[in-house]
């Protein structure tokens, strides 16, 4: 009934995407969001994925292959999401961020507040009207609280052209992930 933040993010994103759209997975990780986005946009769409670790991109490519997704619709960039503006020049319908560290890998390699804020600003400029950005933040690990606070402050400061929703569990024993959904008002052309 109550979905995990990553599941809720996918639920909201699926409503924002159509066959043939372009979407960004700003933090490829193990490739689950990349696979999800590729399924949403279909063979006529495009997904652009970013991760600083080649092992993450390799895992995502393997997952796409295992699920018989045409690898040609996904462009991977082994670099920080902080430079996504250098690689994406066309409008996008959705952008997904799943911050923190790669599960099962080096926990010292994390997304950072400054890079994430640059990436969010670029994503906001690339997002077409009616599009959606989702950000799953993970407080509780070194750097996670600071990053989440920065993301929330950035989203809170957006003007009236945006609608922002915060989705989180309360009353948990340890800090739970927090999801922000950021919608650009207006309809798609």
Mean pLDDT (whole number) for 89-101:
95
Pull the structure tokens for residue 108: 């010292």
- Predicted confidence (pLDDT) at residue 188 exceeds the cutoff of 70: no
Q: Can you give the pLDDT at residue 108?
A: 75
| Mean residue pLDDT across the chain | 94
Pull the structure tokens for residue 102: 């790669």
Q: Could you please report the per-residue DSSP string of 9-78?
A: HHHHHHHH--TT-EEEES--TTSHHHHHHHHHH-TT-EEEEEES-HHHHHHHHHHHHHTT--GGGEEEEE
Q: Number of folded domains in the chain?
A: 1
Mean pLDDT (whole number) for 19-35:
97
- Predicted confidence (pLDDT) at residue 35 exceeds the cutoff of 90: yes
Tell me whether residue 189 is in a domain.
Answer: no
Tell me whether residue 143 is in a domain.
Answer: yes
If one compares 26 and 104, the residue with the highest pLDDT of the two is 26
CA distances from residue 52 to 7, 69, 177 in whole angstroms, order as listed: 23, 23, 21
Q: Can you give the pLDDT at residue 187?
A: 63
Give bridge partners of residue 180 from the DSSP assignment: 135, 166
Tell me whether residue 180 is in a domain.
Answer: yes
Which of 19-33, 54-68, 90-104 comes out lowest in average pLDDT? 90-104
- Residue reference for tokens 């670099």: 79
Tell me whether residue 102 is in a domain.
Answer: yes
Q: Can you give the pLDDT at residue 107?
A: 72
By residue range, what is the domain housing residue 21?
Answer: 5-184
Tell me whether residue 139 is in a domain.
Answer: yes
**β-strand 162-168 against 178-184: which pairing, if any?**
antiparallel
Which of 6-15, 55-64, 140-149 comes out lowest in average pLDDT? 140-149
In this structure, what CATH number is given to the domain that contains residue 128?
3.40.50.150
- Predicted confidence (pLDDT) at residue 106 exceeds the cutoff of 80: no
Which of 71-75, 118-122, 131-135 comes out lowest in average pLDDT? 71-75
């Amino acid at each position: 009934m109550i979905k995990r933040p990553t599941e809720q993010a996918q639920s909201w994103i699926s409503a924002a995407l159509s066959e043939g759209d372009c979407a960004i997975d700003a933090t490829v990780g193990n490739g689950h969001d990349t696979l999800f986005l590729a399924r949403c946009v279909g063979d006529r769409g495009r997904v652009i994925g970013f991760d600083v670790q080649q092992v993450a991109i390799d895992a995502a490519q393997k997952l796409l292959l295992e699920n018989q997704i045409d690898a040609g619709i996904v462009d991977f960039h082994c670099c920080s999401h902080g430079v996504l503006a250098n690689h994406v020049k066309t409008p996008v319908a959705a952008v997904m961020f799943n911050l923190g560290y790669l599960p099962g890998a080096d926990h010292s390699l994390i997304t950072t507040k400054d890079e994430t804020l640059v990436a969010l600003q670029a994503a906001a400029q690339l997002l077409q009207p009616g599009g959606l950005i989702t950000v799953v933040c993970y407080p509780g690990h070194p750097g996670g609280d600071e990053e989440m606070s920065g993301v929330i402050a950035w989203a809170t400061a957006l003007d009236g052209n945006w609608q922002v929703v915060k989705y989180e569990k309360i009353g948990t024993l340890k800090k739970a992930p927090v999801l922000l959904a950021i919608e650009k008002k207006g309809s798609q052309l």
